[in-house]
Every structure is written in C-alpha cells, then in structure tokens.
Chains A and B, each alone.
Chain A
C-alpha cells in the first residue's frame, strides 16, 4: 500500500509539473506534507534547502530522498520512476512518431495556461515559508535575512547553492549562546 502511495504521489507531481523540475516543488509539497503526511514543513524545508545546495536536478533528488525515507531503497526507485518514466516514454513516442507536436497551437496553449497556475502554487508555498520564518526567527531577524538574501541573490548574482551552503555552515559552526554568556562572566570575574 505504501509503495502504491509513493507511486501515486510522485506520478501526480511529475506529470503535472510543467516547466521543468522546480515547477513541481509545490506539488511535491502538497502530496508529501499535506496529503500523505510523510514529513512536516520543517523536514520538507530541510530537504529543499539541501536539494538546492547540491548539484543535479531538484525533482529527482527530492523524489529519491523522500521515497527512500518512506519506503527504503524500493521506495526510492519507485518514486524516481513514477516521476520521470511517464514523460520520458511520452517524449520517445512523440519524437519517434511525429515530430511536429510542439507546433500544434493547442499544445502551445496548454503550456502557456499552466504557467501562472504553477506560479500561484509557488506563491502560496513562498508565503508559508515567510510566515514560518517570522514565527521562528522574529520579525527583525527574519526580515534581515530576507533582505540580505534578496540582495545577494538578485543584485549581486551570488549562486543560491553557495549562499545556502554558507548559511548552513554558519549555523553549524556559530558558537551557542549559553556558553558565550558563561565565557563573558568568567572574563568579568578575572578582570
């Protein structure tokens, strides 16, 4: 049953994700967090963060990892195949039979109409992340990180993978607050 659920979740998010891997992120979120509840929002954010830091296609990294978490190695293979196989087969069939499908006006229309819809889903997910950031970090800190990231990514053109890696390393090596306060007390005591 679990393997069937994995197939359904990643088949749906793969076949509906128009415009390359990133467009299926909100769909994967919908299936994994909201429908099947395999992960909570925090875990999903971690997977997305690390997925963005590592090279390679994002969709298969997420499908493979989540499939592995839910159903072991079989789940991993299942999730990847469910998300990519249908469209690869479609592509081979279409390209070997007729090569002018993309020129059909209704196919082009379909592709166009789905873009803003995916945009709305992406916007909803973005809003969730902002809200959660504000709840956990507080208004000022969250605001500073948002503005800083926006500047670094969009104005200075720093690669997201590098920025994410830098923040993760900073969080990991930064000294804890409690020992820091203790150190200060010791210094004061000596002075």
Chain B
C-alpha cells in the first residue's frame, strides 16, 4: 500500500510542478525516482530515458508507465500514469468549462485574440529547436533535404502527415 502511495507521489509532484510539457518534467522525475526513493540508479534512469526518447509518443507518460511497472507491477504502472495525467487534466477541464460558459463575453473573446501571437512565438521557437536539433544530428544537407521533401509532400501534394512521417522513418532507418 505504502509503495503505491510513494509511486503516486513520485509522479504527482513532477506532473504538477513541471511547467512546459512532458520533457520539462523529466529532471523532476529523476529527482524523485533516483534521488528520493532510490528505485533506480542514474545509469538505469538514463537508459530508460534514452529508449523513451527513441520511441514515439509523449515522454512523461512513457517514463511513468515503465518506472511504475518496474517498481509496482501493472498496478504501479497504472498509478504512475494516473498521477502524471489526472491532476493537470482535471484543472484543464474545469478552467476550459468556465471559459466556454462565458464564450460570448467580449473579455473572453479578447483572451483568444490577445494570446494568439504569443502562442505563435512559442510554436516558432519549438520549430527552430526542431530544425536546430536536426542540423546538429544529421547535418545541413540531410536536414535541408528532409525539410524540402516534407514541405513539398505536406503542403503541395497534401499527403497525410502519417505517411510522410512513416516515409521519413524508413528513410532514416536506411540512410541515416
């Protein structure tokens, strides 16, 4: 019982403190899992993280699901994921519920308008980071080629992103 409570706490705290999406909460998870509870060594943790980064999907829940499973079996895994996801999701549903109740209010409408340029900047920064990471990992030529090819397929030929991503995975497996 105590163990399950600890698993809950270990993932609840990074989930609620970690601003800025899953990747930003990873150091906090490490702090709990390695530093506080000692379930893993730094070496083990970084191996799990490396595999987590190689697999698709959100990173925070992958870590919670796997570490929860290692420490407390299937129930531990469920608790870890629940503690990561539920608190901020509940907050989100409540706040957006309030927002939509007053959807017609000019103030709420103004929120949407005012926030948009900032979101654009945030997405722009993320875009830059993705391109920069790619330049760092694969070099200029491969990066420019992949950008040009995917831009053409996605925007000009309107290919579904799923196919473009699968195509790039195949390209990477063969040529990178």
- Which A residues are within 8 Å of any B CB, using their own CB? 12, 14-27, 30, 42, 45-52, 54-61, 64-65, 68, 76, 80, 83-84, 86-88, 90-92, 94-95, 99, 101-102, 106-126, 129-130, 132-133, 136-137, 142, 145-146, 149-150, 153-154, 159-161, 163-164, 167-168, 170-172, 174, 176
B147 touches A91 (CB 8 A): no
**CB-CB under 8 A for A112 and B137, given A20-B59, A57-B22, A161-B20:** yes
Q: Does B18 contact A (CB under 8 A)?
A: yes
A153 touches B122 (CB 8 A): yes
> Chain B's nearest CB lies how many Å from the CB of A33?
13
**CB-CB under 8 A for A129 and B162, given A22-B21, A119-B127, A119-B134:** no
A113 touches B66 (CB 8 A): no
**CB-CB under 8 A for A83 and B58, given A25-B123, A50-B99, A57-B22:** yes
> Chain A's nearest CB lies how many Å from the CB of B56?
5
**CB-CB under 8 A for A60 and B66, given A111-B53, A113-B168, A146-B117:** no
A95 touches B48 (CB 8 A): yes
- Which B residues are within 8 Å of any A CB, using their own CB? 15-23, 25, 47-48, 50-62, 65-66, 69, 77, 81, 84-85, 87-89, 91-93, 95-96, 99, 106-108, 110-127, 130-131, 133-134, 137-138, 142-143, 146-147, 150-151, 154-155, 160-162, 164-166, 168-176
B57 touches A87 (CB 8 A): yes
Interface secondary structure of A, over-half rule:
helix
B115 touches A49 (CB 8 A): yes
> Chain A's nearest CB lies how many Å from the CB of B126?
5
Cα A128 to Cα B157 with chains together (Å): 18
- Top 8 closest A-B pairs, CB basis? A113-B172, A56-B88, A87-B57, A119-B130, A88-B65, A129-B120, A109-B176, A58-B21
